[in-house]
């Protein structure tokens, strides 16, 4: 068999986020975040679980970095908990929080692992929510900039890869539209306002980084999430519906960043519910990403809606459905993960090509891709063949996209270890490493052993 190789400098990585793994939710001066508060409301999280302890990465980070080193990953993407280094989100800095991330970064560099740092992965300082209405208030754009300034200042000598925001789509739709994520608000207009301020916050942080920290010579971007939307039929209506669904999903955030404004179809359909950018803001936003960060998990069919089905959007469906007139469905023959997300590697390839074309061949990094399964520990081992198959399928699709000319430069597996899967709690295991949430022991799964071999061979066409 001819082994298709990834380029030598391909970035093989793995990813996590602060609230999902750190624990130590009120230790060493950390302030509460909206996720601490959200988890305290009965019924919001499966089994009323919380991130209070999570994987206790706060105390076990050295052990975790050893496991990463053992796997041979070249890069590790993690996020900083804003309220750990600024307990109320503004003003005073908590030196103990700075110290934690500083040691984490040093330990990574010692292990030859390149840190990729996300500034915001959803754990907004609670004070900013209570006193300033979180992402609904334009003030947040300046607070975020001040927070980013501290991160660049304190960590930028060693961190050269920055991601401002993780999945503004999820923050907006699940946090302000469906209310299933913190801060739990339900609205059909707030998501677009929150999204607007997320984009401006991103842009202000990037401008600051480029002007004040030029000497650090790093790269900065944003990670947007998007599923693929395949037209259900060959009809023009369904093709348009699939395109519209993608525009409402990823172009909502990527168009302003690459083209300076929202997609036309969103402006036409949302009217005054979609805020507009001033001329100065358009200039501020345009071109504010050195790379295209993509989090990708699944694929659905899209069909033009007859306007009758007006159900409230469900998890994973791509936005407020009545704004789009798109009906989504899956093929009953597709395999699904524990989250019910369909496993469709060719959807990943098609999405990469769509991004490549629409945004004029950017360097793309898949900053998340992975799957949840109900892994069981048997005789000290986890035989997660389904996850192994998932990674192999998606990585081969990535390789094909590269062969077709897409500038895909790296891939981060979500996630390094099982962790707190937000409203779904600990049941959904996404990790390459199994975590026993009673003893907090970590055990590499079969997929981790496979991933190690794939990295070593620079190819997904390996078998264990
Ligand atoms: C992402 N959706 O979340 C996050 O970045 C991770 O923190 C998370 O653990 C991972 O994917 C798995 O869920 C998403 O509904 C949550 O489309 C929901 C959606 C997409 C991504």
**CATH number, residue 279:** 3.20.20.80
Cβ of 407 below 6 Å from ligand 1: no
Cβ of 172 below 6 Å from ligand 1: no
Q: How many structural domains does the chain have?
A: 1
Cβ of 33 below 6 Å from ligand 1: no
Between the CA of 369 and the centroid of ligand 1 the distance, in Å, is 10
Residue 116 lies in a domain: yes
pLDDT on residue 315: 43
pLDDT in tens, 167-208: 999 999 999 999 999 999 999 999 999 999 999 999 999 999
Residue 168 lies in a domain: yes
Residue with CA nearest ligand 1 atom 13? 421
pLDDT on residue 308: 62
Residue 402 lies in a domain: yes
Cβ of 18 below 6 Å from ligand 1: no
Pocket probe mutation, ligand 1, options 297, 387, 390, max atoms within 8 Å of Cβ: 297
The model carries a pTM of 0.97
Write out residues in the chain with pLDDT < 70, as ranges.
1-2, 308-318
pLDDT on residue 312: 43
Between the CA of 14 and the centroid of ligand 1 the distance, in Å, is 15
Cβ of 356 below 6 Å from ligand 1: no
Residue 169 lies in a domain: yes
According to DSSP, the β-strands at 433-435 and 442-444 are antiparallel
Q: Domain containing 26: what range?
A: 3-301+333-463
Residue 235 lies in a domain: yes
Between the CA of 92 and the centroid of ligand 1 the distance, in Å, is 31
Residue 320 lies in a domain: no
Cβ of 424 below 6 Å from ligand 1: no
pLDDT in tens, 123-147: 999 999 999 999 999 999 999 999 9
Cβ of 367 below 6 Å from ligand 1: no
Between the CA of 263 and the centroid of ligand 1 the distance, in Å, is 23
Residue with CA nearest ligand 1 atom 2? 316
Between the CA of 285 and the centroid of ligand 1 the distance, in Å, is 25
Residue 37 lies in a domain: yes
Residue 268 lies in a domain: yes
pLDDT in tens, 412-439: 999 999 999 999 999 999 999 999 999 9
The catalytic site residues sit at 167, 368
């Amino acid at each position: 068999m001819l082994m298709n190789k990834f380029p030598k400098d391909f970035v093989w990585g793995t990813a996590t986020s602060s609230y999902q793994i750190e624990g130590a939710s009120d230790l060493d001066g950390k302030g509460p975040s909206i996720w601490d508060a959200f988890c305290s409301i009965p019924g919001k999280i499966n089994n009323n679980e919380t991130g209070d302890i999570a994987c206790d990465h706060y105390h076990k980070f050295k052990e975790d970095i050893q496991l990463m080193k053992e796997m041979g990953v070249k890069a590790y993407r993690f996020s900083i908990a804003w309220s750990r280094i600024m307990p109320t989100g503004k003003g005073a800095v908590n030196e103990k929080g700075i110290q934690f991330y500083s040691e984490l970064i040093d330990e990574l560099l010692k292990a030859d692992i390149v840190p990729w740092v996300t500034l915001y992965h959803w754990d907004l300082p609670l004070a900013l929510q209570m006193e300033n209405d979180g992402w609904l208030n334009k003030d947040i754009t300046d607070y975020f900039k001040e927070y980013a300034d501290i991160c660049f200042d304190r960590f930028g000598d060693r961190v050269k890869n920055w991601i401002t925001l993780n999945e503004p789509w999820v923050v907006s739709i699940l946090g302000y539209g469906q209310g299933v994520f913190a801060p739990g608000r339900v609205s059909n207009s707030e998501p677009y306002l929150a999204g607007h301020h997320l984009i401006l916050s991103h842009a202000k942080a990037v401008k600051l980084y480029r002007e004040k920290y030029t000497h650090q010579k790093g790269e900065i971007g944003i990670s947007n999430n998007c599923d693929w939307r395949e037209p259900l039929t060959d009809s023009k209506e369904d093709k348009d519906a699939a395109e519209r669904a993608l525009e409402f999903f990823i172009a909502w955030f990527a168009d302003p960043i690459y083209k300076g404004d929202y997609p036309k179809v969103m402006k036409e359909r949302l009217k005054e519910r979609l805020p507009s950018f001033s001329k100065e803001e358009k200039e501020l936003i345009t071109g504010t990403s050195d790379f295209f960060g993509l989090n990708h998990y699944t694929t659905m069919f899209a069909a033009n809606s007859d306007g009758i089905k007006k159900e409230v959007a469900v998890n994973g469906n791509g936005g407020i459905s009545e704004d789009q007139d798109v009906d989504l469905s899956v093929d009953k023959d597709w395999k699904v993960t524990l989250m019910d997300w369909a496993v469709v590697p060719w959807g990943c390839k098609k999405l990469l090509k769509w991004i490549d074309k629409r945004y004029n061949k950017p360097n793309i990094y898949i900053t998340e891709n992975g799957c949840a399964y109900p892994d069981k520990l048997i005789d000290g081992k986890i035989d997660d063949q389904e996850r192994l198959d998932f990674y192999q399928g998606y990585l081969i699709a990535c390789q094909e996209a590269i062969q077709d000319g897409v500038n895909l430069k790296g891939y981060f597996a979500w996630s390094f270890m099982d962790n707190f899967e937000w409203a779904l709690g600990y049941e959904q295991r996404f990790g390459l490493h199994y975590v026993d949430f009673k003893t907090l022991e970590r055990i590499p799964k079969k997929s981790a052993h496979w991933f190690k071999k794939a990295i070593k061979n620079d190819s997904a066409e390996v078998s264990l």
